[in-house]
Structure 1
Amino acid sequence: MIETEQTVTIREEITKVWDFARDIRGWASLMPGMQDCEVIDDDNSRWTLKVGVGGLVRTVRVQVKVDQWDGPERVAFTYKLEGDPVQGGGSYLATATGPGETEVKLTVQVQGSGPMAPMWEAMGKPLLPQLAKGFAGQLRDTIEAQAQPAGAASAEPAAEKGFLAWLRQLWRSLFGAKS
C-alpha cells in the first residue's frame, strides 16, 4: 500500500470551504485527466480519467464512494478501479485556523492486489505525492478564486496559470513530451 498526506491553508472561512467540498462534481473537476463524472446518488459516483505513466496512456473508470459526510470538518471516501485490482481511500479534514482561514489535510491511500501489485506500487509511489500536492493546491486556488468579491482583482488567471504549469510539468515527467 502507498499513501500520502498533503496539507494546504485556504484563505476562506470553513463554511465557504465546505460549500465547495460537499459537491463531488467540484472534486472531480480538479482531477488531472478528468473526462467525465457520473453522479449515481448522494454518496456514489463514477469518474472516467485518462491516466498515464511513461509511454502508457489509458482511460480508467473509478467507482468513488463517500463513506462519511461530516461537514464542514470531515469527509471519508473509498474508491475502486473498474477492471483493475486497485482500490483505496482517503479523507478530507478541515480545521478553522483563524478568521477567514481554513487548514485542509487530504490523505490518499492506494492498494493494489494480485501479481501486479508490486508494479502498481512502484509506479505510483513517486507520483502519488505529486498528484496529491497538485490537487491540494488546485483546491485552494479554486476556492480562493471563487471567494473573490465582485469587482475585486481575480486570482483565477494566476491560479489557472499555476495549475497549467503544474500540469505541463507533470505531463513532461510522465510522457517526456514537449508542451
Structure 2
Amino acid sequence: MGPEFFPEGMTVADVLRASNPEAVTPGTWLYVELTEKLGLVKLFDRVARELSGGEMQKLAIASALSREADLYLLDEPSAHLDVEERLAVGRIVKRLTENRKAAAFVAEHDVMMIAMISDRTMVFSGEPGLHGIAGSPKRVREAMNDLLAELGITMRQDKESGRPRINKEGSYLDRLQKAKGVYFEV
C-alpha cells in the first residue's frame, strides 16, 4: 500500500471521520479500542499521504475496521508493523470481530498473527506461478501442524517471550516434537 491509497490532502482525522465519525470522537468505543490503541490520535493533524509505511498501514486498518460490516478482508495486516504493533493489531481485529459478531478473512504470513487472531486457518500449497492448492479450513493448531510437517520444521512457543520459535533441525526439541507428531507446539 502506498500514499495513493489516501485522497490528496486528507489528514489522518479526515480519513477516519470519513470511515466512521465515532473513530475520532473521544470516549466512544471505536476511539478507545481502535484509534487510541493504534496510536493514531497523535497523528490526527498529519496528512495521510505523508505518513511512514507503518503509520499508513495502521491508518488503513483503522479505516477498514471502523466501518460496520459482516465480513472484513485484510491482506497482510502485519506488513510494515513492528512486533508490538502486530500484537496490537491482532488483539484489535480479534476483539472487534467478536464484538460485532463479524468474520474476517485475513491473508497473512506472520505465524504469531495467525495464531493470535484466527479461529480457523486455510493453508495454501503448490508451486508459485504454476498451481496452487487450498486446504480446507481447520483449527489453527491442526493447519499449522500439517504445514510444518510437510516442510519438516518444528516450532514451539518460547517460554520467556511467549513468541513462536523454530527449533534447530536435529535438536533435542526438534526430535522430540517430531516423535510425538507435534510440529506446531504453540
TM-score, normalised via structure 1 length: 0.25
Higher Cα radius of gyration: 2
- Whose RCO is larger (CA < 8 A, sep 6+)? 1
Question: Which structure has the highest strand share of the two?
Answer: 1
Using the size of structure 2 for normalisation, the TM-score is 0.24
